[in-house]
Structure 1
């Protein structure tokens, strides 16, 4: 099993591939984070739909990593789908401690040729985070292609040569 260890204040967090038992805790992180970061965005699926999606689609069929505290609590998640960073969420209580940056560093290490991602235009905090980490906005849309129908922006990261 692949793991990464990182020091956060003061607990120890391990980044590892998600296992089936991590699906529901990861879904809960997603739900809390989405609610905190995007209170004005209409969710396309209810809580149970999100939990089912993590249980039956995300964890079993996508490269999913979780941040796990010493007590076993899942506090962050990263989902990669080919060269796409599909999901990156950190529990609101753990934000601002470097965990998102460590998850993003893991994604860059796993995809050294580059990454693409989408985020909502209203998510100024996420946009600033990705821009600080070398991502560049490459496409802006009106949201017609996403389930939430929320204007979004595509970001791209390519390693410097």
Structure 2
């Protein structure tokens, strides 16, 4: 069942996430991954493991940002790990409305020396998105080093 969100994405705000947000972050990431199957491989971990990973590793050890509607419900999530965009997911009902762009601009502001990230070779939409935001292809793999065993592309961004 999809969540109902009030207010437009123009009124969405960003904030740092805390441990109290772990369940909402996990839900958003799980729903977003499921909606993207075909463009990306299916998740290899059960939902409960995803929640545990977000609770024990992601939120305590990484920089996590949420975009929220006026009712404080998450619309998108960004996870930064050093100079890596570790995760970027937008609620499937709100893709293409600028939330991901706002989070990438936030990431650039937080990491002005540069960013890098991986995306699956099959995810043409993500590739167009990152190229549009000034990222360039910095390498490719055959997928043997990721859990999904899926070919991937490393993108990098450096400030002009």
Which consecutive unaligned segments of at least 5 residues does structure 1 have? Answer: 1-7
Q: How many residues align?
A: 153
Q: Which runs of 4+ in 1 moved over 6 A?
A: none
CA–CA distance in 1 between the matches of 2:8 and 2:79?
24
Partners of 1:41 and 1:137 in 2: how far apart? 20
- Output the TM-score relative to the length of structure 2: 0.91
Residue 4 of structure 2: aligned partner: none
Match of 1:152 in 2: 152
**What is the CA-CA distance between 1:44 and the residue it aligns to?**
2.0
Cα distance between partner residues in 2 of 1:105 and 1:74: 18
Unaligned runs of 5+ in 2: 1-6
Output the aligned Cα RMSD. 1.4
Q: Which whole-Å CA distance do the structure 1 matches of 2:13 and 2:31 have between them?
A: 20
- The alignment status of 1:30 with 2:40, answered yes or no, reads no
Contact persistence 2:14–2:65 (CA under 8 A):
yes
> What's 2:96 paired with?
96
1:9–1:97 Cα contact (<8 Å) kept: no
In 2, Cα distance between equivalents of 1:11 and 1:154: 30
1:14 to 1:146, Cα distance in 2 relative to 1, 3 A: same
Query: Aligned ranges for residues 11-160 of structure 1 at < 5 Å?
Result: 12-39=11-38, 41-160=41-160
Q: Secondary structure at the match of 2:97?
A: coil
Separation (CA, whole Å) in 2 of partners of 1:12 and 1:88? 20
Q: Is the 8 A contact 1:11 1:70 kept in 2?
A: no
Please identify which structure carries the higher strand content: 1
Alpha-carbon distance between aligned partners in 2 of 1:89 and 1:78, rounded to the nearest angstrom? 7
SS at match of 1:55: helix
Aligned-pair distance for 1:11?
5.7
1:69, distance to aligned residue in structure 2 (A): 1.3
CA deviation after TM superposition for structure 1 residue 153, in Å: 0.4
Deviation at 1:9, TM superposition (A): 3.3
**Inter-partner Cα distance in structure 2 for 1:142 and 1:12:** 41
Aligned partners of 1:10, 1:76: CA distance in 2, in Å? Answer: 10
